Structure 1
């Protein structure tokens, strides 16, 4: 059995010839310039009958029906392949969900850009599949402290940086590096008008300069919310955070053994959730948020699990709070994963996903106070339903 890896990327920065509403903070924040380009970075992984593309996109998030359309576009050329589309959740890219337009009643998505984006991501995924070559892997996990904090519950922190590096089997030359860290890309603050991927820009640059190979960044259980703990909100603060993370990754990978991947298994599980959040219900009624609902008003989402060598990666459809994230990592390690990796905002963006016992919907969701995360969550059942999905995936895909 041979393991293969390939890579492709495309710039997805929107043109400023039309208004670009930046997502993540307040409404009507229009982009005035581009500090660094936004990308889709696609990593193709293949082994036996499994063909999977992991695509990191520098966007706030994409709803499931858009992710499904992009996967179908890829499958018109590569019908055997599956796609995991994980948003980096940068707060300085275009609105791709609909909540950050010029006012509270106007959708902020440029539909022509979204159509182009769907095609570009699908084509980039196909290009990655066409570049695959025999590969091996390094895996490492390291604690990076002091760059992120939990603004909701400071005592609960996940500061683990997960690192996977894929290496050409014949030359031992790095092909691509995947890094996952649980923190919002929001070092730059709500007055920033410049398009940027925030701290991920420098994190990837540091690794790429040292390895000569591309680097993908994804985010983990960043709910809570896990936010940068830098001294300021300037570009130099974002660069400093990215450099710390990139340097930590290089150190961890330097000491990681090179392994022959003898196992690759990927499974998905879809599940339904009641949509109980009245703000989300209203946003759907007025057309800010789009996507199909089931006849009973619930929505369908998905989670998935990838076993790759001694690493297990759980892909989650939203912003999971770190208490749940730490629980999920423990579940993965309990069944044999040496490296337990969580990737958020994967193939859907449901907003925050909380433990049920911590969920308290605010009396006034427009002024939620300490319960902002509940005001931006589909409902109390999101956490238990996601936990049940992981339990089912583990039962079906034990190594």
Structure 2
């Protein structure tokens, strides 16, 4: 009971607030109203408009990706990225069980089957060691590519996720993928502004994706993006996400099965205004995380801090409690007091639709799922106390 009230007191002290505290609410303190109004006045509110191009260019400059293609949300971005990585129906995509359900859902949307490996305590992202062990123990190289022995399915790709904006060990994961000939697609939905060394999350693999949902660091209301350094993939991504329509002044000619995945100009206008403020958002969140870290260290409650050689956006700050019972008590005490806290997602392998999927040992996943609590992490206009 004491530690639950310790958590409540620390969060309130750090924020300097005794009112309700959301987990992560958007902040609109810049040009959002003006830009959205300009799209309305122009009548270009759908997927054709200047703000879409501007949003993509701003993201390219921020992330260092050569090409960025804006989409309707993070799930559609991930779905399309997997298709562009040549993931075919019936194949396997190795991902982590500890992730938001959209990661695994996108694999299924692409017609494939997710296989689950463990995460690391330090990053909460995919363990390159667990990935390597799964491939060695359960897969084999054949003339037709890497095959999962038990099912005979081809293993097409690897899909790690940068959990809560903490960069995973993506270079080591990329090395494993290169040795086994797997396409690497990064789910960087939560990692806008996060870097390992100097490389932005989502730009190491063949493709990477971002999300701009209402609870993300920068939001477009609902939106996503595909990142790649490959010009051929980029052209294909823009074509397929725009219903595969062949450009023409008036004809409706389509040369492939396309997808209506392009971000509307109205949403992109909001995103441009948000990206103009990203430096201030990141500065606030990193300062907030450091104050949390210091306070929880005094209380002897582990705070999930960025790993060495990384620069995290601290999208959602997290602490680790001693047991599942202690976690549940903390969630009850804080939420009853108007401080929104949440457990981490139910691991994918525990959900009924994925319970029979291939997987390796998942001890860290299960341990983290039982102990982790996310605490209020949103940007606030006033400085935290």
For the superposition of Structure 1 and Structure 2, which TM-score range results when normalised by the shorter chain?
under 0.3
Structure number with the bigger relative contact order (C-alpha 8 A, sep ≥ 6) is: 2
Q: Which has the larger radius of gyration?
A: 2
The structure carrying a bigger strand percent of its residues is 1
The structure carrying a bigger helix percent of its residues is 2
